[in-house]
Amino acid sequence: MPRRLEHNRNQTCRTRRVKCDGKRPKCTPCHRIARDCHWLQEGGTTAAPVVPVYQSSPLSAATPHETEYTSTEHPEYALQDPQVAKLFRHYITTLAAWYDLNDSKRHFKDVVPVRARYNPLLLSAILAFAAANQHRTLGEEAYLDIAEFYHYDSVRRLISLTKNIDSIPLGETLAAICLLRSYEIITQNVSSQSHLQGCYSLLASQRIHLTADLLSAGYWNYLREDITVALIEQRGLMITLSNQNAPAEPTEDADFASSITFLLGKIINRCLAVDSQALAPLEWEAMKSELDKWKASLPSYFDTIQTPGLGKQSSFPSIWTLRSWHTSTLHYYHTAMGILWLAQPAAQPLKALQRIDDMESIQRKLEYHATEICALALSSDSAPVWVNAFGPIAFYCPWLRDTQKRVEMAGELEKWGKLTGWPVSIIADALSPPSTTSMTL
């Protein structure tokens, strides 16, 4: 059971800020929930926190009114609670990989847990996300109560930090905001933008030097989360990308992933924003040339491998890559190319029959990119790949004209949703193909 430090009669528990009735040797709340009761030492000094004896199950039969979860105010003490420790370990072993998909330094698996041992906000964000994921994948309601408790605690701490923005530990705070955004998504609030908006405000006031540190890892994760939601909702990003934050010339795998992420973000902002103007031919050519240059610089080992019959029978081609981050990198490339084809300006005014041919050509191009995106996701057994692919899949699945392919993708999405806890129904709703007569060019 979670720990609460009980105080003398009529005093307030410093951890929980609740009244203790003062009964000895055990107060009424602790007696009711069968946990150890720890008192302040006489003379006004506090005894060192003592690790209590917990029940074996992390999910208590107590009602939400009776259950009080361990505060993260002192992370080292909080991690002595088996419930907290199990959620913490679930994040490390299962969920951190979502964020380290393109990060060879594994900041979210190797650095974030270390920082969380000293940062209450970061630990609360981890616990909220991990508990929400357990609720979604296991279907146990008690995890939702835990998730909501630590989510509320995280928001409270985040608001408190903004009162003195100059003293904010940016790396840890940005990492926590990424985790809270994931919490919002898997609790069926994909359109909720509170933490992305807060993150945008934070980024807008600070210049980020993109290097191999936690702040940079948080920045790229923030941008990818923003891209996912923007593609699902078919709109621009919340962040305005500046060339001063453009990644350097790629030399390592992670650099190629960051470069295409940045290029895709710029293309989304220019082409999908509600108030964006149509591209002029010269501007479109410049954007296409930049994307082509990136593709030409990609090492050959990023290329897909075609192995017919390798996996289960599918209506999609059997293609795969050597690494999961190769798949995510190619996903973003195909997404960027498809948006550019949609935004391509006509070279000259078209007659009716020319317009029909032009629409058919665009449909074929979009279907090609949609097929590549789906095929690469289907060949992967990586949850981080699936999570990162949900945005591109949502944007491109409607362009699949083959009914069998759409049915197959709907089935796979349902499976991936159960495994990751992601609310994939919002993507399945996009599987109905658009009418070619309603295309906006």
Q: Model confidence over 14-48: pLDDT tens digits?
A: 333 344 555 555 565 555 444 455 433 333 333 33
Ordered DSSP codes for 37-91: -B-PPTTSPPPPP-PPPPPSSSS-SS-TTT--PPPSSSHHHHTTSHHHHHHHHHI
Q: Which residue has the higher pLDDT, 408 or 249?
A: 408
What pLDDT was estimated at residue 93?
98
Token reading at 373: 């995106």
Residue 193's pLDDT band, with cuts at 50, 70 and 90, is low
Q: Does a cis peptide bond (omega within 30 degrees of 0) precede residue 25?
A: yes
Most confidently modeled of 42-56, 74-88, 156-170, 210-224?
Answer: 74-88
What's the pLDDT tens digit per position in 131-180? 999 999 999 999 999 999 999 999 899 888 877 777 788 899 999 999 99
Whether the CB-CB separation of 99 and 221 falls below 8 Å is answered with yes
pLDDT given at position 436: 43
How far is the CA of 172 from the CAs of 108, 220, 233, in angstroms?
10, 14, 28
In terms of pLDDT, which residue wins out, 23 or 89?
89
pLDDT band at 210 (very low <50, low <70, confident <90, very high): low
User: In percent, how much of the chain has pLDDT > 70?
Assistant: 77
Sequence length of the chain is 441
Residue 198: pLDDT band with limits 50, 70, 90? low
**pLDDT score recorded for residue 169:** 87
pLDDT score, position 335: 98
* Angstrom distance (rounded) from CA 406 to CA 393: 11
Show the domains of the chain with their CATH numbers.
1-37 (4.10.240), 71-235 (no CATH), 246-434 (no CATH)
pTM greater than the 0.85 cutoff = no
Q: How far apart, in whole angstroms, are the C-alpha atoms of residue 1 and residue 82?
A: 8
CB-based contact 7:19 (threshold 8 Å): no
